[in-house]
């Protein structure tokens, strides 16, 4: 029986050229998607039912690229060749994570900006999709053929990036809240009217700027972050100088 076309592609010299071309094309596509005008906007931003993860276009395009690569090597009759492609995909994911980190550092002075939040959504989206793929039968079969695939390491690095960015975001919000809280902090409690003399309880006027700032920032982040990230954000412990962070927002 004559070997099929797939066996020709598996000849070492041909296969290595194939991998080189795949890597080169993928890197060029990643460069293009990150420099595109709408890279950090969600293509579904006007359709609330389809925008649960608020993934920016570059992140969705990148994961589609990985899926297309998978479709090309899924039918290969050799697990060794499939694992080589899987290693290429891991390399591309790690490179994309590094690029996200670099862009994040450029925006780290403005963590409340829309692009910073889009980067955070991208890291969360890629981590979520990769976690789903880990349960895919095809990837489970590959995992059985390899000693280790390293997905846990990649997911851990993405989780670390997400946690670091959420921490910076929380620090930025609390910095603003503390600044707005200064008039309230300087209030002399003994000079305030007695609660017994008031018909109804009311918020101190000096506390209003602090509460309005907190309200506005939470509303802003609810609009910019996907729901899982927003819930993680407002439930995170607040960092208190000199003390362990124990209070949630």
Question: Whats the size of the chain, residue-wise?
Answer: 249
Looking at residue 49, what is its pLDDT? Answer: 63
Provide the pLDDT for residue 127.
92
CA 159 to chain centre: 8
Summarize pLDDT for 206-221 with one digit per residue, the tens.
Answer: 889 999 999 999 999 9
Q: What is the mean pLDDT of the chain?
A: 85
pLDDT digits (tens, 9 = 90+) for 219-237: 999 999 999 999 999 888 7
- pLDDT tens digits along 60-116: 999 999 999 999 999 898 889 998 998 999 899 999 999 999 999 999 899 999 999
CB 7 within 8 A of CB 73: no
C-beta separation of 130 from 154 below 8 A: yes
Q: Which residues are CB-contacts of 123 (< 8 A; sequence separation ≥ 6)?
A: 97, 100, 158, 161, 162, 165
Distance CA 77, CA 10 (A): 9
211 Cβ neighbours under 8 A, 6+ residues apart = 203
**Global confidence as pTM:** 0.85
Cα–Cα distance, 59 to 194 (Å, whole number): 56
């Amino acid at each position: 029986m004559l070997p099929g076309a797939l066996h020709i592609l598996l000849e070492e010299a041909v296969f290595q050229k194939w991998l080189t071309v795949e890597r080169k094309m993928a890197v060029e596509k990643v460069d293009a998607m990150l420099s595109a005008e709408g890279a950090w906007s969600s293509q579904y931003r006007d359709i609330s039912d389809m925008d649960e993860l608020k993934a920016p276009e570059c992140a969705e395009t990148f994961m589609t690229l990985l899926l297309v690569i998978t479709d090309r090597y899924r039918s290969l009759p050799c697990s060794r060749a499939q694992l080589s492609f899987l290693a290429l995909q891991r390399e591309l994911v790690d490179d994309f994570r590094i690029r996200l980190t670099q862009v994040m550092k450029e925006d780290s002075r403005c963590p409340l900006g829309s692009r910073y939040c889009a980067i955070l959504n991208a890291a969360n989206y890629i981590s979520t999709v990769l976690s789903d793929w880990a349960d895919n039968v095809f990837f489970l079969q590959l995992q059985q053929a390899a000693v280790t695939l390293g997905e846990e390491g990649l997911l851990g690095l993405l989780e670390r990036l997400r946690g670091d960015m959420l921490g910076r975001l929380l620090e930025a919000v609390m910095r603003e809240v503390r600044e707005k809280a200064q008039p309230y902090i300087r209030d002399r409690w003994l000079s305030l009217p007695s609660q017994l003399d008031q018909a109804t309880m009311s918020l101190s006027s000096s506390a209003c700027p602090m509460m309005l700032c907190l309200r506005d920032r939470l509303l802003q982040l609810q609009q910019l972050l996907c729901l899982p990230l927003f819930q993680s954000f407002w439930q995170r412990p607040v960092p208190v100088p000199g003390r362990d962070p124990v209070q949630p927002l």
